[in-house]
Structure 1
Amino acid sequence: MIPGDSDGSGRDGGRRARRGQSHVIGVALLLGITAVSMAGLTATVGTVVESNAAGVDAGRVSADLDAALSPVEVTGHHRGTVSYSDGRLHTVNRTVRVLNASGEVRRVEAGGVVWSSHGHRVAFVAGAVVRGPPGNAVMDADPPLATSAGTAVAGVAVLGDARFSYAGGGRVPLSTRVTHDRSAYGDGEWQIAVETATPRPWRAFFERRGATTSTRDFDGDGVDSVVARFPGTRELHLVVHRVHAEAGR
């Protein structure tokens, strides 16, 4: 018998066959694991690319909303465009309240416009543009507010009955007609409450102007208002910038 040959029982040959089969299975498992790893890497890269694109969109949408809905600089008819590659652009319900020691003096249904995509968010409310999700937002454009020792002039952009919602990417034309109305209130200790899903930049804005701030859900809808209390007695002037907006592609 030749050394290494089977004795006819097939035991040695069977072992070699089984060892060869194990190599094939091992290679198949390795290829399977590699395929799964590549799929996970592809998904991760895709998520990063989408997030980066949404970040670029957020900066563009912020500038576009500020230009298209600029309530203070514009009177009469105005046209603008909001452009983004993906996401949703829609209107929301927001309220601005004026209060004094006796309670609510005036309520303005201001409305707002929000764009969101892949964790990024931009909102136009009451004349301000805020970029970023709740808890990590910054104010890109300040609301119209001026204060002095004895006077406060607060401006509120009101979108009226504008209602629209667009999903996906593209260019959304915005056509507006802007009018202005000014009301003067007597001396008092005034508070201004702005309903917003991103309270942090609003609180920082008011506090830089000497107000103390708190938050309160006035109507129980789950969206807080930032309440800014201005110290001392002063006369309040409220300027309502009515932005009659229509959107359409």
Structure 2
Amino acid sequence: MSRSRRRIGDHADAECESRSTRRAQSHVVGIALLLGITAVSLAGLTATVGTVVESNTAGVDAERVAADLDDALAPVESTGYHRGVVSYTDGRLHTVERTVRVLNASGEVRAVDAGGVVWEHGDHRVAFVAGAVVRGPPGNAVMDADPPLATAPGTVVVGVAALGDATFAYAGGGRVPLSTRTSHERTAHSDDEWRVAVETTTPRPWHAYFESHGATTTTRDFDGDGTDSVVAAFPGERTLHLVLHRLDLEAGR
């Protein structure tokens, strides 16, 4: 065999070996890319599943907290000593300052420091204010338990639950006992054009509730603290009965 033929053969063998090497490298790179994409996909799936599970858990917590607050505080049903427990997996349970005002055609007749209890976890929220339980964040909340309000021709009965001087905040999951000593005070006010204003960060369900009882509603920040009140005006002159449910709330694990 001539030298030229041997060189041609050697060159062909080298080219074949180079192609095989490139193919092997391509396979390795492809597998590496596939493994990387799979890892990223699994990480994203794990994060998505974790978020869904956490959201579902918080939603279950919200329903439980709403029921627990309604049972534990029970401003109308209880008199004297009463005790309940609020349970949740995670979140923060704390008190807030809220005022309920009674107004007539001349202006403010009475302001009640009602206070409130709020549980929050992410986008989930439950609030007890003035005897009502509202579930959901601002803009997407619903009335879970109605406030103690009654209307009849020529009469409106407004019940307000006042929590006293209770101040607390609990973070994380657990069971928080709530104890109350409840008394009731009733005062009657003569015929007038009556309005009731409830301070709240979730105004939508309050608007809907008052309007379902024949009132017209507006919104106003009475004290300039950034928290609006839903103002319900009842048509015509009526006798107003204000029932103040004093709960004197205490909390402790």
> Is TM (by shorter chain) over 0.5?
yes
Alpha-carbon contact 1:186-1:235 (below 8 Å) kept: yes
Q: What SS is found at the alignment partner of 2:232?
A: strand
1:216 aligns with 2:197: no
Q: Residues 6, 79 of structure 1: CA spacing in aligned structure 2 closer, same or farther, 3 A cutoff?
A: farther
Q: Secondary structure at the match of 2:227?
A: coil
Aligned residues: 249
1:160-175 alignment runs, 5 A limit? 160-175=164-179
Q: 1:6 to 1:19 in 2, by over 3 A?
A: farther
Distance 1:153 1:5, change over 3 A: farther
Q: Distance in 1 between matches of 2:116 and 2:88?
A: 18
CA displacement at 1:118 relative to structure 2: 3.1
Q: CA deviation at 1:11?
A: 4.8
State the alpha-carbon separation in 2 of the partners of residues 6 and 226 from structure 1. Answer: 92
Structure 2 match to 1:36: 40
Amino acid paired to 1:14: S
Higher Rg: 2
- In 1, the alpha carbon distance for the partners of 2:12 and 2:149 equals 99
CA distance in 2, matches of 1:147, 1:190: 12
Displacement after TM superposition at 1:14 (Å): 3.2
Q: Does 1:203 align with 2:207?
A: yes
Q: Whose helix fraction is larger, Structure 1's or Structure 2's?
A: 2
Distance 1:30 1:176 in 2: 62
Percent sequence identity over aligned pairs: 74
Q: Which runs of 5+ in 1 are unaligned?
A: none
Shift of 1:247: 0.8
Give the TM-score taking structure 2 as reference length: 0.93
Letter in 2 for 1:162: A
Taking the aligned partners of 1:150 and 1:118, their CA distance within structure 2 comes to: 44
By how many angstroms is 1:13 displaced?
2.7
Q: Deviations over 1:165-211 (max 9, x none)?
A: 11111111111111111222221100000011111111111111110
| Root mean square deviation, CA, Å | 1.9
Who is 1:97 aligned against?
A: 101
How far is the alpha carbon of 1:6 from its aligned partner? 4.0
- What amino acid is aligned across from residue 227 of structure 2 in structure 1? V
CA distance in 2, matches of 1:14, 1:51: 55
The question of whether the paired residues in 2 share the 8 Å contact of 1:116 and 1:122 is answered with yes
**Which of 47, 54, 61 matches 2:58?**
54
When residues 23 and 5 of structure 1 are mapped into structure 2, their CA distance, relative to the original with a 3 A threshold, is farther
SS in 2 for 1:47: helix
Say whether residues 1:107 and 2:116 are aligned partners. no
3-state SS of 2:90 partner:
coil
> Which one-letter code corresponds to 1:132 in the other structure?
G
The AA in structure 1 aligned to 2:244 is V
| TM-score, normalised with respect to structure 1 | 0.94
- Give the distance between the partners of 2:56 and 2:10, measured in 1 at CA: 65
2:152 maps to 148
Structure 2: give runs of 5+ residues left out of the alignment: none
2:142 and 2:193 map into 1 onto residues whose CA distance is 28
The answer on whether the counterparts of 1:130 and 1:138 sit within 8 Å (CA) in structure 2 is: yes
